[in-house]
Amino acid sequence: MGRKLDPTKKEKRGPGRKARKQKGAETELAKFLPAGGDENSKRLSSRARKRAAKRRLGSAEAPETNKSPGAKPLPGKLPKGFCKPFGVSAGAVQTPGKKEASSLFNMARGKKRPAPTHSSAEEEEEDSEGDGVVNQEDLWGSEDSDADMIDDYGAGSNSEDEDEDDDEELLPIERAARKQKAQEAVAGDQWSEEETDEEEEEEQVSAESGPREDEESEGGLQINVDEEEPLLPPAGEVEQDTQAPDLQCVHKRIQDIVGVLRDFGTQREEGRSRSEYLQRLRKDLATYYSYGDFLLGKLMDLFPLSELVEFLEANEVPRPITLRTNTLKTRRRDLAQALINRGVNLDPLGKWSKTGLVVYDSSVPIGATPEYLAGHYMLQGASSMLPVMALAPQEHERILDMCCAPGGKTSYIAQLMKNTGVILANDANAERLKSVVGNLHRLGVTNAIISHYDGRQFPKVVGGFDRVLLDAPCSGTGVISKDPAVKTNKDEKDILRCAHLQKELLLSAIDSVNASSKTGGYLVYCTCSIMVEENEWVVDYALKKRNVRLVPTGLDFGQEGFTRFRERRFHPTLRSTRRFYPHTHNMDGFFIAKFKKFSNSIPQSQTGNSATSTPTNPDLPNVNGQVTPKSESGSPSTKKAGQAKQRLQKQQHPKKSSFQKQNGISKGTDTELSTVSAVTKAQASSKLQDSSQPPETAAVVREPKEAGKLKQQSPKLQSSRKAAFRKQRAPPKTMDTDLPAAPSLSKTQATPKPEDRDQPFGNTTGAEKVKHQVAEQPFKKAAFQKRDGTPKGLKTPTVSSRSSSRPPPAKRRKSQSRGSLQPALTSVDG
Amino acid sequence: MRPLTEEETRVMFEKIAKYIGENLQLLVDRPDGTYCFRLHKDRVYYVSEKILKLAANISGDKLVSLGTCFGKFTKTHKFRLHITALDYLAPYAKYKVWIKPGAEQSFLYGNHVLKSGLGRITENTSQYQGVVVYSMADVPLSPLNLPRHIKEGEKLLLHHQEAN
């Protein structure tokens, strides 16, 4: 802008450049439209006066004549006109071939032209134009000066814009415009397509039917615009705007398309399909918000259109700064007071948090106050406080935080536990661990051990935690406002890679939880991502692979997770998971799921496990695998050969026996169990004299569990409860069997039904023993023989199939009833 | 991770005793359990025994930190106390120095404190005495060594130790 600028003549009019820019586009527009015209007219009038004066001096052209061809009746349109010419001219100047850009402008212009007929549409256009105009006001200034200088850019001059308002101005520009028109007319055909699209998108109804027609009119308009383009002074602003498509126009078009799509039946353009609109919208959104195509596609799948735009807008703005009081050292009230004294403007975070504060503004660096250095608070996002609240750690528990860096959640856990118990804070990234060390020391956390393992190694290194928090590494699509690079550098492979890693970590985390913990047995899985592949899909996978079930998170706000998404179907309990979005909750995008582990055994997949059976109990592994026809986790069994097998065997035996008891051979009644049963049969016969019951029972138990988890048809909770119930019984059983008195036990077991799991077995203390005694399996099996009835019976339809082969469900029922108590208990624990 | 040797223990306790004197025993025998010092990669950690048990499962090269780090041994086997130990020293400090609010900020950010910046000081504090510096609100800020003889108007060089 500036070449033609005459410094002496340049004067800032109105609020000034910066003032204008600081206001939002909307406000600008609002001000502009009704008053803009006035302003413009006023300005123009003064400028016009100047120009008129100049012209009179220099030329005799009548401004009015210029105007008429311009067909810009309303002064309000001036802004548009200005916008257009700038944009268009810029575009034209830069890349004559850029039809799109020009088309954009053309469209805008085109719309505007017909605008008189459609005031509303025009207004919209004008608004968008107005924005453009606003930006270009400076140009105006320059142009004015230019105009004053009577620069004839050849085709026209910037003053064209002004000319619209000011007839006088048009003169030189008009000439140029006419020239351009001629040029444009030739090229107009090319733009037709775009124009039509644009037009369609626009809410104009007139002349929309014929793209051609529109084109022509558009073309005419475009021509004008084009004419203006070259006229535009080298104003940098204009050019910038037009280099990419004019953002104002794009924005307007986005809004228009969304409006059309919302009411597609009535507002669509004939001959234009929905997909075309969507295509256009996608491109526009990608342009306007600088997103990569892949991510934008994913977001379009995820959100309805209106929400989509809000989401994208919210990602442009950072979330408010929040901090969490460290209750180990201070109270929220005192901290708030101290910070206010330092000059920080803050407020409590909300009803849902007792320790959170949100900072509106601060005169001191919030991360450097003496209170911060003394560890009185921690800067933490609001959504990061939620998983710890969901986890609800109790005092004197053993907690594992698998991906703890930078330590915000770990320290929150510690403060909730009041520095009792033990926290194992782990992270795979050594650099970020340093921040964990620093933060934990600063905040006065004394019960933490910080380690540097890959999370997937976990149950092997140390397991048996009461609660586990897994804040999995993710693609970061929920925190785009913090890291805009995510918009473009994520693609399909990244998401899938993340999902794979998350699945592995989640399985390891589940295996690290001790299901029979008195106060715990919970796992919270959370990510800062909104992608279904990383959230619901991973959770669903875990439900299939492990003996866990979802429980309510305890957070009463937030959107429920999806139970189905496009072609995928998830377990209905996924409704208890929670999603948070930046545009609805004003916190970073987040996903939280809380699991309760109801059995320490690991379901084996059917196929692969026969070979993995432990030496002592070949049956078990097979059974396990088979038992869980649904469970796909073949690998875990192999992996956990040591621990898992033992656990599995222990647990499975009961199940198996239960299944088998009926026949003495592997029950496997169901198709699911069929494989298992086969195995169990073999095993049973080999192992137990009684029958392969234990394996069966184990299998049976397994299945119910699996069924519970996997089967969506039957109420999962029910089945899961049953499964849990069964499992609970299983351990005791196993334990009993473990005891040397196995044979006797088995007998005893056989006799007492589920009535009292523990009783028949007597000594068995429960699951713990189960784990340790692999060798006892045979005993257990015997013991379980009785049991098998229970597991099966409990199951709903899925189970029933199996149970059918078994002894009358009635027996099982009893055990079930007993077991039902257990599930109730377990659920309560949650 | 290993317990401290006699020599190391002696060196460390000497250092700590400069600040808290004979109250050292209170650090070890605490009402909520026994605490001990462990050495890991030249750093001394102060942990309770419960934590110690779990930490024993973690292999040495993967263990990063446990409990609270009190300080570290330098290559020449001198013991350097860290600010992370402040929470444990402060309650038992024998000699205390209080700084005025104005000087507090500058002290926190690493500057020296003039004698005029001192609010209070425990009696009988001798030269080169180890003290704990407090703010006027009785918030412990740092353990220090008083560098010189206290004279009116003289600058006190207070060495502010950094956190690890």
pLDDT digits (tens, 9 = 90+) for A603-644: 876 544 433 333 333 343 444 434 444 444 434 444 444 444
Q: Distances in Å between the alpha carbon of A682 and those of A629, A668, A675, A691? A: 18, 12, 11, 10
Whole-angstrom Cα distance, residue A721 to residue A41?
A: 75
Residue A511 neighbours by CB under 8 Å, 6+ apart: A458, A459, A463, A546, A602, A636, A640, A643, A644
Q: Give me the residue from B51, B62, B135 closest to A422, CB to CB.
A: B51
Cα angle, residue A180 at apex, residues A39 and A92 outer, rounded to 5°: 75
Cβ(B99)–Cβ(B141) under 8 Å? yes
Which residue is closest to B134 within chain A, CA to CA?
A: A374
Q: Give me the residue from A433, A441, A449 closest to B58, CB to CB.
A: A449
Q: Which of A673, A686, A689 is nearest to A803 (CA)?
A: A673
What is the DSSP code (8-state) at residue A519?
A: S
Q: How confident is the model at residue A424 (pLDDT cuts 50, 70, 90)?
A: very high
Q: How confident is the model at residue A164 (pLDDT cuts 50, 70, 90)?
A: very low
Whole-angstrom Cα distance, residue A735 to residue A773?
A: 8
State whether residue B108 sits within 8 Å of chain A by CB: yes
Any idea of the CA torsion for A150, A155, A158, A162, to the nearest 10 degrees?
90
Q: A446, B63: Cβ pair inside 8 Å? A: no
Residue carrying structure tokens 């450097």: A368
Establish, for the pair of chains A and B, how many residue pairs have beta carbons separated by less than 8 Å. 72
Mutation target vs B (from A337, A395, A441; most B CBs, 10 A cutoff)? A441
Mutation target vs B (from A400, A451, A454; most B CBs, 10 A cutoff)? A451
Q: From chain A, pick out residues whose CB is under 8 angstroms from the CB of B104.
A: 370
> Mean pLDDT lowest for which of A25-34, A257-266, A475-484?
A25-34
Residue A707 has pLDDT above 50, yes or no: no
Whole-angstrom Cα distance, residue B47 to residue B36?
A: 6
Q: B63, A438: Cβ pair inside 8 Å? A: no
Beta strand residue intervals within A146-253, DSSP E: none
Q: Which stretch, A253-267, A488-502, B136-150, has highest mean pLDDT?
A: A488-502
Q: What is the pLDDT of residue A388?
A: 94
Cβ(A619)–Cβ(A695) under 8 Å? yes
Angle of helix A211-231 versus helix A99-112 axis, rounded to 10: 110
Query: What would the pLDDT profile of A429-475 be if each residue is shown by its tens digit?
Result: 999 999 999 999 989 898 999 999 998 998 888 888 999 999 999 89
Residue A359 neighbours by CB under 8 Å, 6+ apart: A320, A321, A322, A323, A344, A345, A346, A366
Q: Provide the 10 A C-beta neighbour count for residue A759.
A: 12
Whole-angstrom Cα distance, residue A100 to residue A87?
A: 11
Q: Provide the 10 A C-beta neighbour count for residue B45.
A: 25
Q: Which of A83, A403, A498, A528 is catalytic?
A: A528
Q: From chain A, pick out residues whose CB is under 8 angstroms from the CB of B163.
A: 438, 441-442
* Averaged pLDDT for residues A676-703: 43
Q: B135, A370: Cβ pair inside 8 Å? A: yes
* Better pLDDT: A319 or A239: A319
Q: Which tokens belong to B65? A: 């930190």
Mutation target vs A (from B36, B63, B65; most A CBs, 10 A cutoff)? B65
Residue A704 has pLDDT above 80, yes or no: no
Whole-angstrom Cα distance, residue A591 to residue A475?
A: 12
Whole-angstrom Cα distance, residue A342 to residue A329?
A: 18
Residue A210 neighbours by CB under 8 Å, 6+ apart: none
Residue B151 has pLDDT above 80, yes or no: no
What is the residue-averaged pLDDT of chain A?
65
State whether residue B36 sits within 8 Å of chain A by CB: no
Q: Give me the residue from A373, A433, A450 closest to B108, CB to CB.
A: A373
Q: Which tokens belong to A242? A: 């037009």
Q: Give me the residue from A374, A437, A447 closest to B64, CB to CB.
A: A437
- Predicted ipTM of the assembly: 0.86
Cβ(B54)–Cβ(A424) under 8 Å? yes
State whether residue A449 sits within 8 Å of chain B by CB: yes
**Number of Cα atoms under 13 Å in the Cβ half of residue A666:** 31
Residue A88 has pLDDT above 50, yes or no: no
Cβ(A807)–Cβ(A785) under 8 Å? no
Residue A387 has pLDDT above 70, yes or no: yes
Active site annotation includes A249: no
Cα angle, residue A220 at apex, residues A285 and A125 outer, rounded to 5°: 40
Q: Which tokens belong to A254? A: 């986005």
Our CA-based measurement puts residue A472 at a distance from the nearest CA of chain B, in whole angstroms, of: 20
State whether residue A462 sits within 8 Å of chain B by CB: yes
Please name the residues between 422 and 441 in chain A that touch chain B, using a CB distance below 8 Å.
Answer: 422, 424, 433, 436-438, 440-441
Please name the residues between 383 and 422 in chain A that touch chain B, using a CB distance below 8 Å.
Answer: 398, 421-422
Q: Provide the 10 A C-beta neighbour count for residue A333.
A: 10
Query: What would the pLDDT profile of B84-133 be if each residue is shown by its tens digit?
Result: 888 787 778 777 888 887 777 777 777 777 777 777 777 777 666 677 77
Pairing of the two strands B113-114 and B155-156: antiparallel
Q: HEC profile for A278-293?
A: HHHHHHHHHHHHCCCH
Whole-angstrom Cα distance, residue A21 to residue A14?
A: 12
- Beta bridge partners of residue A667, listed in sequence order: none
Any idea of the CA torsion for A229, A234, A237, A238, to the nearest 10 degrees?
0
Q: Region of A668 please: left (phi>0), alpha (psi -120 to 50) or beta.
A: left
